[in-house]
Structure formats: C-alpha cells, structure tokens
Amino acid sequence: MKKRTQLFRKRRHGATTLKRQALKSPGQWKTVWGPPLRWLGVAMVLAVVGWGLWIGSQKLQDPNAFPLREVRIGGELRNLAKADLEPVANGVLGQNFFMADLDALRTALAANPWIETVAVRRWWPDVVDIELRERVAFGYWGDGEMVDVNGRRFRPPIVRQSGPWPQLSGPSGHEKTLIKTYNDMRALFEPVGLHLAQLRQDERRAWRLTFDNGLEVQVGRVQFEQRLRRLAQLYPRILSARIDQIAVVDLRYGNGFAVRWKVVEPPTPAAG
C-alpha cells in the first residue's frame, strides 16, 4: 500500500513538471500571441497613415494654401491679343494650386470664336500655363461670319489681321466646296490678270463671281469648269481692253457669252 502511494505521487509530480515546461516554451508563446500582435501592428500603422493622409488632404484643400500667382499664355496670336484673354485667365489667380478648376477655365477660353484648341496645365509651384492655337481664317462668309481654312464658320468679335479677305457665300454644308473652288479659280484667273474677290453659290447651286476690278460673271449650274476656262481664254483677247465699260459677263450660253455694259451717265449741260 505504501509503494502504490509513492508511485502515484511520482506520476503526478512528473505530469505537472511537463505542463509547466510546455507553457514556458518560446515557440508555444509565439504561436498563441504572434498573429494577434502582428495584426495589431498593421492596424496601428494603417491608422497613422490614414490620419496623416487626412491631415494632408485638409491642408491641400485649404483655399489660402498654395496660391496660384502667375498665368502664362502661349501660342501664335494674329487676331487675338493677350489682353483679350487675360480677364478670363486671371480669374484663377489666388486660387489653391490643387483645387483650381482648370476645366472651367479651359471651357471659358474655348468659347472665344478665334480659339481652335486650348490646353491648360499646372506647373509647380504656382503657375498655370495656357497653350492655344488660333483659327486660321480663310475669308468672310455671308453676313458677318468668317470661315477658316478647315471650312468651319465662326463669328469673331474683332479681326486684327490685315486682308484682303475673299467673300464667300453658299448653302450651309458647302463651305469646303467653296474654299476649294475659290483656290482653283485663283490658279486659273490670276495668270490673266483677274483677281477673284467674291464667290457665291445660291440655293439652286448656280455660281456667281466678282473680281476686284468690279467685273461680275454669271456662270450658272452646268458646265462650270468649261465655262470658266472659256472666260480665262476670252478675257485677255477680247474683254480686258474694254473692262471699264463691262458690268456683267453672262456665260450661261452653249457656245458664247453675253455682255451687259455699264450705263454711262450723259454729261450735265452747262448752265446758260
């Protein structure tokens, strides 16, 4: 009986020792507490980063911080002047570099009829750079409008570039056709001393020309190129010598042309 009691005590003493050793093992401690501590560290880092970003965003959005102090306008200006654009462009001065609405500025500048394209950029630390391209005008169109070399019509508030500008008129949608026809006519008539000033096409697609010497030519709708070549041949041989007396040349005939002469006012009788 005494031996059994001693054996039992030895066994219990040995189990307790093994349990205490297991709890004190470094590997066991890391297994239990390592993951929660790592996640806690990650959460603290994210919280600090988020707080820093929030503070930074508040600073960047401060209207009084990072003010814009300069606006630069670049591009070849012919009919526009920087003074035309500065009242709109300078509206961003003093605004926050990061918060200034450059899209609204771009839209406001593009509303100017002379501006074809415009790009607006920020340059650190306090500059707005505006780069624009002005329309290249071709001539006047109809009543009060102009047309550019790409056939787009616009109504400019001011024209600073010196002319002379040709006068074009025609149905809507025929702008490119009239520009091409005008260029073709210049190549045909300038070698014989005729300089085209006006080119018109009516709703019936009939053509009418006016040259800078006052000569008006009715061409009609059909055989357009053939009739123009006929005029280029006849003018230096027949018409040029009496150009001061000719008002209108009508080419709307199959094998010839008609001339309407200017009305010559009779001299006023002397008194008495």
pLDDT tens per residue, range 197-252: 999 999 999 999 999 999 999 999 999 999 999 999 999 999 999 999 999 999 99
Greater confidence, 111 or 55? 111
* pLDDT at residue 63 in the model: 59
* Separation of alpha carbons 113 and 256, rounded Å: 45
**Geometric angle at alpha carbon 257, from 252 and 261, rounded to 5°:** 110
> Which residues of the chain are in CATH 3.10.20.310 domains?
70-134
Q: Which of 193, 183, 238 is nearest to 213 (CA)?
A: 193
* pLDDT at residue 24 in the model: 53
Helices of type H across the chain: 2-23, 26-60, 82-89, 102-110, 175-189, 224-234
| Residue found by looking up tokens 């965003």 in the block | 57
Q: Which of 151, 176, 250, 244 is nearest to 207 (CA)?
A: 250
* pLDDT at residue 15 in the model: 46
User: What would the mean pLDDT of 110-130 be, rounded to a whole number?
Assistant: 96
Do 135 and 115 touch, CB atoms closer than 8 A? yes
Do 245 and 232 touch, CB atoms closer than 8 A? no
> Which residues of the chain are in CATH 3.40.50.11690 domains?
138-261
| Confidence band for 1, pLDDT divided at 50, 70 and 90 | very low
* pLDDT at residue 153 in the model: 98
| Confidence band for 272, pLDDT divided at 50, 70 and 90 | very low
Task: Look at the domain 138-261 and name its fold.
Answer: Rossmann fold (3.40.50)
| Confidence band for 34, pLDDT divided at 50, 70 and 90 | low
pLDDT in tens, 173-207: 999 999 999 999 999 999 999 999 999 999 999 99
* Res 36 pLDDT > 80: no
Parallel, antiparallel, or unpaired for β 145-148 and 153-154?
A: antiparallel
Q: Which CATH superfamily is domain 70-134 in?
A: membrane protein fhac (3.10.20.310)
* Chain mean pLDDT for the chain: 84
